[in-house]
């Protein structure tokens, strides 16, 4: 769904319109969920209902309509809003370009703040005041933020949609295949480039040279003012944009396993916390609230990285970013491996306590999970933010919403991948003894599963290094603008 939303935003609707439309759909979904808690005919059965009957058609219609509205709204909102925010910075202005690098950091600071509120305040409201009250708060909050966003429309910068961003990619492939038998030229004088000064031109790179044949001027003469057929002759910029898309694909695949590790934080980690001692001076922490530790770790790491580490790295390396994007992503992958190792050791300890005590709630404090959550937060600060910046920057300018959608799809597909991996591992281990996933968490061996993820992540990291060792980033022919600020 995010990929479809990103494509529509880039190709036809425009990001501002897509944000408004998807936000409205999202509010509608929240409104329906809220109505199911307060309107008697729509209200589902409660645990204490004596005359509870099976869900009726109206119950199912309301629930699934709300779910589909929320899915469609999220699919359009996520990729469009983040890319629209980054579009407010001018890439040709050095100070604004540096500001955009910080934008992705503080975008995630805001997400962390929202996550903390969600797993603490909203979890408390749901447990003590009911889902209806929580849904009402979320509906009103989302409605107000949509109105505030709309009121700011006179101050935004806009990028007009220019049709399908996939068509130029197909044109390059067709032109390259047509000219596949041409000899590769000894210099770039035979390469065609557009004279359009309104678009950002890309410099030629020597990777994927087969695609370069699409921009070789063969027998045709490109007259002044005459535009050749893009199915026969492409520009250097279009060829380089196609190369960017091709190079994004393997990075997307090697990022999936990092997403699998993240998925454990919202599933098995929470299940572990539900069996542990969560009392603090008589107050019981909701199991999901422990996830806030990862958000705090990510928030703290992002601020230190942006305010302390980046300025130092800029002075040392002389580069605007301090370190390359993919190097930042790789650092986070290392922390993810460390997090899985720590999680395995802590789970082994928890199983030893569970074997001794036989209680539903163990004496072992839930804060034993702090190290693995905190390390996960640090890894997220490097890898998740780095992937957002990578998928926005290293795709063609006309595909930036699609790029952010690709980032979102990493996490979405990783959750399916995690479920598939659990099923496979459970069946395989069950054939050679007891399954690693028993009827409850205390009869399972999650520690072994975490070790497996750590080993798989280490192998995946080795592949990642091979893919990124000599990576060619987007090379824009910049026209620097002096900032007036």
**Each residue's pLDDT tens digit, 364-387:** 888 888 999 999 999 999 998 899
Q: Is 319 left (phi over 0), alpha (psi -120 to 50) or beta?
A: beta
Contact 347, 271 (CB under 8 A): no
Distance, CA of 308 to CA of 48 (rounded, Å): 54
Whole-model pTM: value is 0.82
Concatenated DSSP letters for 401-412?
HHHHHHHHHHHH
Q: How far apart are CA 268 and CA 441, in angstroms?
A: 9
Q: How large is the greatest C-alpha to C-alpha distance in the chain, in angstroms? A: 85
> 392 with 404: CB under 8 angstroms?
yes
Reduce the DSSP state of residue 202 to 3 states and report it.
strand
Question: What is the Cα–Cα distance from 104 to 408, expressed in whole angstroms?
Answer: 14
Under 8 Å between Cβ of 248 and 394: yes
Supply the mean pLDDT for the chain. Answer: 83
Residue 305 CB-density burial (10 A; 0-12 exposed, 13-18 middle, 19+ buried):
buried
In which residue ranges of the chain is pLDDT below 50? Answer: 47-48, 481-485
Residue 46 pLDDT: 55
Q: What is the pLDDT of residue 164?
A: 78
Res 5: pLDDT: 61
Q: Compute the distance between CA of residue 349 and CA of residue 368 in angstroms, rounded to an integer.
A: 9
3 state DSSP class of 477: coil
Closest CA to 66 of 77, 58, 55: 58
CA distances, 126 to each of 6, 89, 134, 180 (Å): 32, 39, 6, 62
The C-alpha atoms of residue 443 and residue 438 are separated, in whole angstroms, by: 5
Separation of alpha carbons 242 and 395, rounded Å: 9
Q: Are 274 and 257 in contact (CB under 8 A)?
A: no
CB atoms within 10 A of CB 287: 19
Neighbours of 309 (CB within 10 A): 13
Question: Which region holds residue 322: left if phi is over 0, alpha if psi is between -120 and 50, else beta?
Answer: left
Backbone torsions φ then ψ of 279, nearest 5 degrees: -85, 130
**DSSP per-residue letters across 213-228:** GGGB--S----TTPPP
Question: Exposed, middle or buried: residue 143 (CB in 10 Å: 0-12, 13-18, 19+)?
Answer: middle
Q: What's the DSSP call for residue 92?
A: T
The length of the chain in residues reads: 485
d(CA 58, CA 194): 58
Mapped onto helix, strand or coil, the DSSP state of residue 481 is strand
Residue closest to 238 by CA, chosen among 202, 263, 269, 274: 202
* CATH fold label, 243-469: Growth Hormone; Chain: A; (1.20.1250)
> Is residue 279 helix, strand or coil?
strand
Give dist(CA 292, CA 374) in Å, integer: 9
pLDDT at 383: 92
Query: In terms of Cα–Cα distance, which of 264, 237, 225, 223 is closest to 372?
Result: 264
Predicted pLDDT at 337: 94
Task: Identify the pLDDT of residue 1.
Answer: 64
């Amino acid at each position: 769904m995010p990929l479809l939303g990103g494509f529509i935003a880039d190709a036809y609707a425009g990001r501002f319109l897509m944000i408004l439309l998807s936000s409205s759909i999202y509010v509608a979904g929240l409104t329906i969920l809220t109505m199911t808690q307060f309107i008697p005919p729509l209200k589902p059965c409660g645990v204490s209902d004596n005359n509870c009957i099976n869900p009726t058609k109206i119950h199912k219609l309301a629930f699934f309509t709300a779910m589909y509205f929320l899915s469609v709204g999220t699919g359009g909102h996520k990729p469009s809003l983040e890319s629209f925010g980054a579009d407010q910075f001018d890439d040709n202005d050095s100070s604004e370009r540096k500001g955009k690098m910080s934008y992705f950091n503080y975008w995630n600071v805001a997400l962390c703040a929202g996550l903390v509120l969600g797993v603490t305040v909203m979890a408390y409201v749901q447990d003590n005041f009911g889902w209806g009250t929580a849904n009402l708060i979320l509906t009103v909050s989302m409605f107000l933020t949509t109105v505030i966003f709309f009121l700011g429309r006179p101050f935004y910068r806009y990028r007009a949609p220019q049709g399908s961003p996939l068509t130029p990619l197909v044109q390059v492939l067709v032109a390259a295949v047509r000219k596949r038998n041409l000899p590769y030229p000894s210099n770039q004088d035979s390469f065609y480039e557009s004279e359009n000064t309104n678009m950002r031109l890309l410099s030629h790179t020597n990777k994927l040279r087969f695609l370069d044949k699409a921009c070789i001027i063969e027998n045709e003469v490109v007259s002044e003012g005459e535009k050749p057929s893009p199915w026969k002759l492409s520009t250097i910029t279009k060829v380089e944009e196609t190369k960017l898309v091709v190079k994004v694909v393997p990075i997307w695949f090697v990022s999936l396993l990092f997403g699998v590790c993240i998925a454990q934080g919202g599933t098995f980690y929470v299940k572990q916390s539900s069996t542990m001692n969560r009392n603090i001076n008589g107050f019981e922490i909701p199991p999901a609230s422990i996830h806030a530790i990862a958000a705090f770790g990510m928030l703290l790491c992002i601020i230190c990285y942006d305010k302390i580490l980046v300025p130092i790295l800029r002075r040392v390396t002389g580069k605007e970013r301090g370190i390359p994007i993919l190097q930042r992503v790789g650092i986070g992958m290392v922390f993810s491996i460390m997090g899985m190792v720590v999680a395995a050791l802590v789970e082994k300890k928890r199983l030893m306590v569970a074997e001794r005590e036989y209680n539903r709630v163990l004496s072992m404090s839930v804060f034993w999970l702090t190290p693995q959550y905190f390390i996960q937060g640090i890894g997220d600060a490097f890898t998740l933010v780095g992937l957002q910046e990578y998928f926005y920057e290293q795709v063609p300018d006309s595909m930036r919403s699609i790029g952010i959608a690709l980032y979102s799809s990493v996490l979405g597909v990783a959750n399916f991948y995690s479920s598939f991996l659990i099923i496979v591992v459970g069946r395989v281990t069950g054939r050679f003894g007891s399954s690693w996933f028993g009827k409850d968490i205390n009869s399972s061996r999650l520690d072994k599963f975490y070790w497996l993820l750590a080993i798989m992540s280490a192998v995946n990291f080795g592949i990642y290094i091979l893919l990124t060792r000599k990576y060619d980033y987007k090379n824009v022919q910049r026209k620097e603008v002096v900032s007036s600020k």
